[in-house]
Copies of this chain bind each other. A is one copy, B any other.
Amino acid sequence: MTAQPAKKLLVLPGDGIGPEVMREVGRIITWLEEKRGLSFEITEDLVGGASLAEYGEPIRDEVIEKARAADAVLFGSVGDPRWNHVGFEKRPELAILKLRQELALFANLRPAKVFDALVDASTLKPDVVRGLDIMIVRETVGGIYFGNPRGIETLPDGSKRGINTEVYTTSEIERVARVAFDLARKRSGRVCSVEKCNVMESGLLWKEVVTDLHAREYQDVELSHMLADNCAMQLVRNPRQFDVIVTGNLFGDLLSDLASMLTGSLGMLPSATLGAPGANGKTPALYEPIHGSAPDIAGQGIANPIAQILSFAMLLRYSFDLQEEGQLIEDAVSNVLASGLRTADIMSEGMARVGTSVMGEAIVRELDK
Contacts and interface: CB of A to CB of B under 8 A. Distances in A.
Contacts of A201: 88, 150-152, 162-164
A250 interface: yes
A198 interface: yes
Contact of A258 (B198, B209, B236): B236
A204 to B, nearest CB: 6
A147 B128 CA distance: 39
Contacts of A330: none
A64 interface: no
B205 A237 contact: no
A214 to B, nearest CB: 17
Nearest to A195: B162
A262 interface: yes
Interface residues of A, number: 59
A293 to B, nearest CB: 12
A238 B164 CA distance: 31
Interface string A163-174: 111111111000
A254 B228 contact: yes
A99 B322 CA distance: 57
A205 to B, nearest CB: 3
Given A123-B237, A124-B124, A236-B262, A93 B167 contact: no
A3 interface: no
Given A144-B200, A232-B232, 7 more contacts: A93-B198, A145-B200, A151-B201, A152-B204, A162-B203, A230-B257, A232-B255
Interface of A: 88, 91, 93, 97, 123-125, 128, 144-145, 147, 150-152, 155, 159-171, 196, 198-206, 209, 228-230, 232-233, 235-238, 250-251, 253-255, 257-258, 260-262, 266
28 contacts: A88-B204, A91-B198, A97-B199, A123-B124, A124-B124, A150-B200, A152-B202, A152-B204, A152-B205, A159-B171, A160-B169, A160-B170, A162-B200, A162-B203, A163-B166, A163-B202, A164-B166, A164-B201, A165-B165, A165-B166, A230-B257, A232-B261, A233-B257, A236-B258, A237-B261, A251-B254, A254-B254, A254-B255
